[in-house]
Amino acid sequence: MWDVKVLSALIRSRYREGASLAVVARELGVSKATVRRHMPARERRDASAAARQRHRSRAQTPYERALRAQVVRLYGSGMSQQRVAATLGISVEAVVARLEPGQRRSRQEAARLAVERQGDLLPKEEIVARYVEGATMAELGRLYGVHPTTIRRRIPDDLIRPRGPAPQPRPRRQQRTLVDEEVRRRYAAGKSAYALAREFGVSPHTIRTRIPDTDWRTPTLGEASVPSPRPARPKTGGVRMVLALSDEEILARYRAGQSATAIGRAAGVDCRTILRRIPEHERRGHLQAQRLNRPAPDVGADTIRALRARGLTWEAIGAEVGLSVKTVRARA
C-alpha cells in the first residue's frame, strides 16, 4: 500500500513530466480515477493538450523512432507515399505525419520522379527495334502505356525519322533550248509572246528580252499605253418582237376582260410583254384586275343565313358558296 502523501507526490511529479493519466496509473498500479483525484483541477490538461502530449510521448518510443527512420529513408530514395505505405503496412496519412514539411516533395517533382521510374522499367532495346521496324512513337506510347515524349527520350537522335511523308521530287517541266533567232523569227511570223513562253517553258518577260524594241508589236515600257479608240457604233432602233397576236387584237381581248396573263399564255409570251403593248391609260389597277379575275359569286345574305340555320359552320358555308369566311361573315 502506498502512503497517501508519497502517492500524491509521485502522481504530480510524473504527470507534470508529461506522462498521461493512463501511464501514471499503469506505472503506480492504481486506477485512473485515483490519479485524477490527486491532481489539482487547474493542472489537468484538456483533451487537445492531452492528445498533443500523447503524440510527443509516443514519438519518443524506440518503435516510433525506427518507423520514422524507415519512412524517411524509403521516401528519400524516390518512392511515392503510396509505395512507402504499402511497403511498411501503414496508411498514407501515417507516412505523411512522419515526414517533416521540408522533406515532402512538390507535385511537379513527384510527377517527374514517377515518370523517370516508369521510364526505367521500359525495355529500351525493344523500343528502338520496334521503332526501326516502322512503328510510330504514338503507337509505341499506346503499347507501353506512356506518353510519346517518353518514347522519344529512349530513341537516339540519329534514328529519328522526319515527320510526315518523304518529300517527292517535283518533276521538272521539259524546256526547249531557247534560240534567239528562232524566237525572233516565230514572233515576226505572228506568234504571241505568251504562246512562245508556254512553248519554250519560260516567262513572257524572257521572250520580251530576246526581241528588239523595233520589232515589238506593242509600245515600249517607257511609253504610255493609250488604247485605240473604238469606232462609234451607230444606234439603231430596238427590234420589236413579232407576236402571234397583233396589238389591236391584244387590246381588244384586254378590253373584253381577259387578263394579261391569259393573253400572254395564248400568245406564248410573258404577261409583261403583253402589258407593254397596252397603253398606260388602258391598263387596269390592281383592285380592278383582282375583281375581274376573281369575280365574287352572287350570294346574298338570305342564302348564307339559310345555310347557317341548317347547322353549317362558316368554313363549310364559304366552301359551298365559293367565298372566304370573312366575306361570308360580312354578307350575313
In a domain, residue 114? The reply is yes
The secondary structure element, H or E, covering residue 111 is helix 107-120
124: Cβ–Cβ under 8 A, 6 or more apart, which residues?
154
Residue 9 CA, chain-centre distance (Å), reads: 79
pTM over 0.75: no
Q: Are residues 289 and 309 in the same domain?
A: no
Q: Are residues 74 and 33 in the same domain?
A: no
Q: Are residues 273 and 318 in the same domain?
A: no
* Residues of the chain predicted below pLDDT 50: 219-226
Q: Are residues 286 and 312 in the same domain?
A: no
Report d(CA 124, CA 321) in Å as an integer: 94
Q: Are residues 54 and 67 in the same domain?
A: no
DSSP codes joined into one string, 4-50: HHHHHHHHHHHHHTT--HHHHHHHHT--HHHHHHHS-GGG---HHHH
Q: Are residues 116 and 71 in the same domain?
A: yes
In a domain, residue 203? The reply is yes
In a domain, residue 240? The reply is no
- The CA distances from residue 90 to 62, 70, 86, in Å, are 17, 12, 7
Domain boundary among 99, 124, 159: 159
Question: What DSSP character marks residue 146?
Answer: S
Q: What is the pLDDT of residue 176?
A: 60
In a domain, residue 283? The reply is yes
Q: What is the pLDDT of residue 236?
A: 52
In a domain, residue 223? The reply is no
Q: What is the pLDDT of residue 223?
A: 43
**By residue range, what is the domain housing residue 33?**
4-59
Q: Are residues 121 and 154 in the same domain?
A: yes
Burial class (CB in 10 A: 0-12, 13-18, 19+), 196: buried
- The CA distances from residue 106 to 102, 111, 113, 184, in Å, are 10, 9, 11, 81
- The answer to whether 206 and 197 have CB atoms below 8 angstroms apart is yes
CA within 13 Å, CB half, 70: 16
In a domain, residue 225? The reply is no
Q: Are residues 55 and 69 in the same domain?
A: no
Q: Are residues 105 and 155 in the same domain?
A: yes
- The answer to whether 300 and 286 have CB atoms below 8 angstroms apart is no
- The answer to whether 27 and 19 have CB atoms below 8 angstroms apart is yes
First to last CA, the chain: 125
Q: Are residues 78 and 151 in the same domain?
A: yes
In a domain, residue 171? The reply is no
Q: Are residues 67 and 149 in the same domain?
A: yes
- For cell 524509403, the residue is 74
Residue 219 CA, chain-centre distance (Å), reads: 56
- Per the structure, the count of domains in the chain is 5
In a domain, residue 326? The reply is yes
Q: Are residues 77 and 47 in the same domain?
A: no
